[in-house]
Structure 1
Amino acid sequence: MSPRDARADLQRSRASRGDAQARAVTALALLWARVWGGRVGFDDEFGLYVCTGMRGGYARSGTTIGGVFLTGRPPSRRILRHEAVHADQWARYGAGFAVRYVWEELRHPGARNRFEIEAGLADGGYVA
């Protein structure tokens, strides 16, 4: 394995938090980012792929799917800290996290969503 391949494998493992389901979702999210014109980078501090420059394909100011943050513009460090917690949640709940998140958002939208509270409302730009 070349050093470049080894680094890419380490990044995939870190972004998915070592979870097989999160790794599969992460791979799909990276493909989704490319379809929407995103530029893929990796943030070493938070262990998160960051896809900027997307023409669409994400909600609000950005969306984390697996270990990938999808957005149109470069995010702040605070946003990345918030989104890294969402990547942890994907690893904890697997692919079922999407359903859990949507259900919670329907019942308790925005700043009342327990997954957003856990990720840090202020870092995510929410007003409590």
Structure 2
Amino acid sequence: MTRASRGVPSARIPTALALGWARLWGGAVMFDDEFGLYVCTGMRGGFARGGTTVGGVFLTRKPPPRRLLRHEAVHADQWARHGLGFAVRYLCEELRNPGSRNRFEIEAGLEDGGYRTGGAGQ
């Protein structure tokens, strides 16, 4: 769990909680060595959009493409940097600047995260 939480004690708590949450929602847990992230697939629900990273855990229904895991690994780094407060920071940012305008999503890489970039309405 230390690697997935980037060695930050405050990120271990949300990582452990997310692993338990994944099991409750029927998720199968695996560890991705390249990105140092737990990936929980097969979940019946319990996550937003196409998937959600909590601590060092990516919660989703379908096995994700590699580029999406690269994006989610940046979110795991953000959890490590901000600790439990990241959830509040992310939510506030999402309310002010939703989707592709969210600074945390921009930092994680919009294209890797499946966000449309450029064009009208962005």
Q: TM-score range by the shorter chain?
A: over 0.9
Residue in structure 2 matched with residue 68 of structure 1 by the alignment: 57
Q: Spell out, residue by residue over 1:9-43, the C-alpha distance to the aligned partner (whole angstroms, 9 max, x if none).
A: xxx11100001110111000000000000000000
Number of equivalenced pairs: 117
- Structure 1 spans left out of the alignment, 5+ residues: 1-11
- Once the two structures are aligned, what percentage of the paired residues are identical? 77
Residue in structure 1 matched with residue 42 of structure 2 by the alignment: 53
Q: Which has the higher helix share?
A: 1
Which aligned pairs between 1:86-101 and structure 2 lie closer than 5 A? 86-101=75-90
| 1:82 maps to which of 53, 71, 96 | 71
CA RMSD of aligned residues (A): 0.4
Residue in structure 2 matched with residue 9 of structure 1 by the alignment: none
Where in structure 1 do 4 or more consecutive aligned residues deviate above 2 Å?
none
Partner SS for 2:3: helix
Q: Provide the rounded CA distance (Å) in 2 between the counterparts of 1:17 and 1:38.
A: 22
Residue in structure 2 matched with residue 18 of structure 1 by the alignment: 7
| 1:107 maps to which of 87, 96, 111 | 96
Q: Spell out, residue by residue over 1:88-119, the C-alpha distance to the aligned partner (whole angstroms, 9 max, x if none).
A: 00000000000000000000000000000000
Once the two structures are overlaid, the 10-residue window that deviates more, 81-90 or 15-24, is 15-24
- Structure 2 spans left out of the alignment, 5+ residues: 118-122
